[in-house]
Structure 1
Amino acid sequence: MKLHHQIFLAMLIGAALGAITQEQSTLLGVPVLASYDLVGTLFINALKMVVVPLIVTAIISGMVGVGGGKNLGRMGMKTVGLYMMTTLVAVLTGLLLVNLFTPGIIDGEPAKDLLGLARDTGTVLEKIEGRGAGDFTAILLQMLPPNLVQAAANGQMLGLIVFALLFGFYLRTEEGPAGESLRNMIDGIYQVVMRITMLIIRFTPLGVMALIAATVTRTGLDAIEPLAWFFLCAVIALAVHAFVFMPALILLMARRSPLRHLQAMTPALLTAFSSASSAATLPLTMECVQKRSGVSRRTSSFVLPLGATVNMDGTALYECVAAMFIAQAYGLELSMATQFMIVITALLTSIGVASIPAASLVAITVILGAIGLPAEAIGLILVTDRVLDMCRTAVNVWGDSVVTILLARSEGEERVLSLPVDEMETAGPEKAEARTGP
């Protein structure tokens, strides 16, 4: 059975197990929910274990393989431009639909009294206490951390990416035996880390089953009922961006089949959905883009690690919808200038959001503070956050992969999506080039 079929089956089994399990359920004296958490945590930890070495070596290796300075500058500018463009469109899509649906207005009245606050609001407020608009400065400071090891331990990948970019840039120009040996060593480490990663990925179905089972056990289906309109609005906005705008880019700019790329990315998207972590999904994303979509390692190693940190289409969209929903629930009439501030703030904060589950809750408090809403209002959306976190993470990963396809095609890579996915997986580069031409 192919991996994405295994993952889909594991999701169904996990949902069924979660539906028949309660938080107090035990099996042979062992708490069932704790067992789900153990397996799911082991899987996520295993993926996160390889994220730092994979990101650093992949970016350095990708920078070395980009070529001359003109090629590097051209690809870098196109990558940043596409990432900013897709994220801006995502935020505007969310803003349009939340104004259209007005989920915070129930029967013509603000929904504040009907919604109330979630029970664990205080816990979240402890984590985000002291956050505000000044966090933009903190995001800039993360780009040049004084201690790379500490930055890696704290999940601040932005500093590692900047260091890897600088290291790879100057390693390209290092001549002589020392430079050649270092390039070979970096490439060797990258290959070994990828092999370890693929070993971990074999256990993806088991990890996905445990993660889904734990989520369903805790929340059930009733958890999202009071916020059904907000949930529906966010999901529709994410779907419009992912399945209308992004496929249109593949069709019009890359002139390739969006459905073929969707089929190729299915394992990574299901893993992103279940884990709610684009960083943990990055190894599988790179595997799918390279082996199933046919993008070169040169392009994917440069674009994907960068996108896993700075390109958060789904997160930015969700932040905008959540802030507008809370404003509507409080009965605030936001002017166009205030809504524009929300758009810009969501765009900027999404860059600094860590690619781990629920990290965007912190960024939302920045937006709430910018428009004058109390941070306590974040409690309104905690009930549905886990499910929506899974959805927006999948959109984040999908957006990264689409930009990679566009970059690869703009760089003249003809192998991209040139064969059916099954043939792409079994065909080596030589066979694929023979079928598609130089």
Structure 2
Amino acid sequence: METKNNLKKSILNNITIQIVIAMLLGAILGVIIHNNYIADDAKNFSDKIKMLATVFIRLVQMIIAPLVFTTLVVGIAKLGDVKSVGRIGGKALVWFFTASFISLLIGMFWVNTLKPGVGLQLGTIDKNAANELTEKVEGFSAQNFIEHIIPKSIIEAMANNEILQIVIFSIFFGLAAASIGENSKPIVNALDKTSHIILKMVNYVMKFAPIGVFGAIAGVFAIKDISELLFTYAKFFSSFLVGIASLWLFLLVIGFIFLRNQMATLLKRIISPLMIAFGTTSSEAVFPKLTEELERFGVKDKIVSFMLPLGYSFNLDGSMMYMTFASIFIAQVYGVDLDVSTQITMLLVLMLTSKGIAGVPRASLVVVAATCGMFKIPVEGIALILPIDHFCDMFRSASNVLGNAIATSVVGNWEKDS
């Protein structure tokens, strides 16, 4: 009897189980509200219930900047020299750009093979819905790209949770601390202790994850007619899922090649972050939890603290796959012919532009809109994918988490042999 009670207690305490239950309950509640209340009341309910997700994501966001700064500085200081940082950074960037390029190719292959945009009717599309995104695209340039990478103030970067800018500052700070040697030890030790305190905060914050997922799912299902939406976008969404499945297969095979039997253990470790990212459509929401789980998996803290912040800016595999897929889909809808060389050029442009606006809300759509403008594809076509984008974002976010977890683990394994 006691064993059964302990088993029940263990299941109830399992955050992954809690999140799955929260998703199901959120979906059920959202459908009930959608089917039994008028649109305005359902919208009002959605806005209020989504506050649960907002609270959870904000709790996570308050941790990210100090966690990135403290762990990265301590990690670099422990690495000890510029040579070590350069070696690991080189491996990271080679992996990130290779994975990004293959992700873009997967999207390009499937959108050209399945042609989900060919023959689609535009009758009921609300083109005004794209205005907010097209406004963000205005002024998008190489200058903005550079300005986004280099922080003019570390305080401002932390206030805005600009991970890439915090990474740049932390790398300089960590290298300077390492070069001073013994004199920097008190500060490095203090930051090390601070990082452990913040990771303890992660445990507290993650207790709110099921509530946040419940609010996010209920809010979406309350205002969207899922059956009608999926019927209308059946070809687009099913084609997108084929692309995502191919991306996951590629990532898992590559992970198995490098990690072998450890791959199964890694997946068990990251199932909870994957579910949270899927439910909240935010890979950022699991950054602290993913940091903790990768360290438990056995990746050295100095590798995790260096790789993961870089990955969140340079290694968004799910988003990359979606960008080529969505851009060429819009071109297909409008009958814009893109030959192979043009599509390859588009792919290379996406490789660069996608790195410049990490942290921007709905960043994938902003990049897609910017790319469409560059290749004379009607930018208002972004409105075509807005109704279904939330559901695509669930899969994109989970894919981003999987890609970063595998990249960090593989580089961590390489460093064991160095």
- TM-score, with length taken from structure 1: 0.86
How far does residue 248 in structure 1 lie from its aligned partner after superposition? 1.2
**Cα gap change, 1:25/1:142 in structure 2, threshold over 3 Å: closer, same or farther?**
closer
Structure 2 CA distance for aligned equivalents of residues 283 and 163 of structure 1: 19
User: Secondary structure of the residue that 1:175 maps to in structure 2?
Assistant: helix
After TM superposition, list the pairs within 5 Å mapping 1:126-145 onto structure 2. 126-128=135-137, 130-132=138-140, 134=141, 136-145=142-151
Structure 1 residue 94 corresponds to structure 2 residue 99 = no
One-letter amino acid of the counterpart of residue 316, structure 2: M
Aligned position for 1:301: 305
Aligned position for 1:333: 337
Aligned position for 1:39: 52
**Cα gap change, 1:213/1:199 in structure 2, threshold over 3 Å: closer, same or farther?**
same
Structure 2 CA distance for aligned equivalents of residues 31 and 327 of structure 1: 35
Aligned position for 2:168: 162
Structure 1 CA distance for aligned equivalents of residues 40 and 332 of structure 2: 43
Aligned position for 1:6: 18
Give ranges in structure 1 of 5+ residues lacking alignment: 415-438
How far does residue 358 in structure 1 lie from its aligned partner after superposition? 1.7
Structure 1 CA distance for aligned equivalents of residues 315 and 153 of structure 2: 24
CA displacement 1:331-357 (0-9 Å, x = unmatched):
122111210122112212222233465
Structure 2 CA distance for aligned equivalents of residues 213 and 113 of structure 1: 29
CA displacement 1:44-94 (0-9 Å, x = unmatched):
111111111111112112212223333222111101110111111100011
Structure 2 CA distance for aligned equivalents of residues 375 and 284 of structure 1: 37
Structure 1 CA distance for aligned equivalents of residues 299 and 17 of structure 2: 23
CA displacement 1:351-395 (0-9 Å, x = unmatched):
223346522111111210121112211111101111111210111
**Cα gap change, 1:261/1:308 in structure 2, threshold over 3 Å: closer, same or farther?**
same
Query: Which of the two has greater helix per residue?
Result: 2
Structure 1 CA distance for aligned equivalents of residues 52 and 238 of structure 2: 31
CA displacement 1:385-435 (0-9 Å, x = unmatched):
111112101111110000011111111279xxxxxxxxxxxxxxxxxxxxx
After TM superposition, list the pairs within 5 Å mapping 1:180-199 onto structure 2. 180-199=185-204
Structure 2 CA distance for aligned equivalents of residues 235 and 48 of structure 1: 29
User: Secondary structure of the residue that 1:373 maps to in structure 2?
Assistant: coil
User: Contact (CA 8 Å) 1:57, 1:189: kept in 2 or not?
Assistant: yes
Aligned position for 2:6: none
Aligned position for 1:322: 326
Aligned position for 2:125: 116
1:17 equivalent among 25, 29, 44: 29
Structure 2 CA distance for aligned equivalents of residues 77 and 127 of structure 1: 32
One-letter amino acid of the counterpart of residue 54, structure 1: L
Structure 1 residue 394 corresponds to structure 2 residue 403 = no
User: Secondary structure of the residue that 1:302 maps to in structure 2?
Assistant: helix
CA displacement 1:149-198 (0-9 Å, x = unmatched):
22333443222111111111111121344x11110111122111111122
User: Contact (CA 8 Å) 2:46, 2:220: kept in 1 or not?
Assistant: no
User: Contact (CA 8 Å) 1:103, 1:233: kept in 2 or not?
Assistant: yes
After TM superposition, list the pairs within 5 Å mapping 1:205-354 onto structure 2. 205-221=210-226, 222-242=228-248, 244-291=249-296, 293-354=297-358
User: Secondary structure of the residue that 2:355 maps to in structure 1?
Assistant: helix
How far does residue 226 in structure 1 lie from its aligned partner after superposition? 2.0
Structure 2 CA distance for aligned equivalents of residues 34 and 138 of structure 1: 33
One-letter amino acid of the counterpart of residue 146, structure 2: L
Worse-superposed segment, 81-90 or 277-286: 277-286
User: Contact (CA 8 Å) 1:326, 1:380: kept in 2 or not?
Assistant: yes
Structure 2 CA distance for aligned equivalents of residues 49 and 66 of structure 1: 27
Structure 1 residue 51 corresponds to structure 2 residue 51 = no
Aligned position for 1:174: 180
User: Secondary structure of the residue that 1:354 maps to in structure 2?
Assistant: coil
User: Contact (CA 8 Å) 2:107, 2:322: kept in 1 or not?
Assistant: yes
One-letter amino acid of the counterpart of residue 380, structure 1: L
How far does residue 118 in structure 1 lie from its aligned partner after superposition? 5.1
Aligned position for 2:3: none
Structure 1 CA distance for aligned equivalents of residues 18 and 39 of structure 2: 26
User: Contact (CA 8 Å) 2:151, 2:169: kept in 1 or not?
Assistant: no
Worse-superposed segment, 66-75 or 314-323: 66-75
CA displacement 1:188-232 (0-9 Å, x = unmatched):
221111111221011111111111111111223122332221112
User: Secondary structure of the residue that 1:113 maps to in structure 2?
Assistant: coil
How far does residue 114 in structure 1 lie from its aligned partner after superposition? 4.8
**Cα gap change, 1:357/1:258 in structure 2, threshold over 3 Å: closer, same or farther?**
farther
1:84 equivalent among 80, 83, 97: 97
Aligned position for 1:73: 86
Structure 2 CA distance for aligned equivalents of residues 25 and 373 of structure 1: 33
One-letter amino acid of the counterpart of residue 283, structure 2: S
Q: Greater relative contact order: 1 or 2 (C-alpha under 8 angstroms, separation 6 or more)?
A: 2
Structure 1 CA distance for aligned equivalents of residues 170 and 38 of structure 2: 46
Give ranges in structure 2 of 5+ residues lacking alignment: 1-10
Q: CA RMSD in A?
A: 2.3
User: Secondary structure of the residue that 2:354 maps to in structure 1?
Assistant: helix
Structure 2 CA distance for aligned equivalents of residues 3 and 230 of structure 1: 33
User: Contact (CA 8 Å) 2:64, 2:161: kept in 1 or not?
Assistant: no
Structure 2 CA distance for aligned equivalents of residues 248 and 282 of structure 1: 24
Aligned position for 1:202: 207
- TM-score, with length taken from structure 2: 0.90
One-letter amino acid of the counterpart of residue 342, structure 2: T
The structure 1 segments of at least 4 consecutive aligned residues displaced by more than 4 Å after TM superposition are: 23-27
One-letter amino acid of the counterpart of residue 201, structure 1: M
Structure 1 CA distance for aligned equivalents of residues 128 and 52 of structure 2: 27
**Cα gap change, 1:156/1:139 in structure 2, threshold over 3 Å: closer, same or farther?**
farther
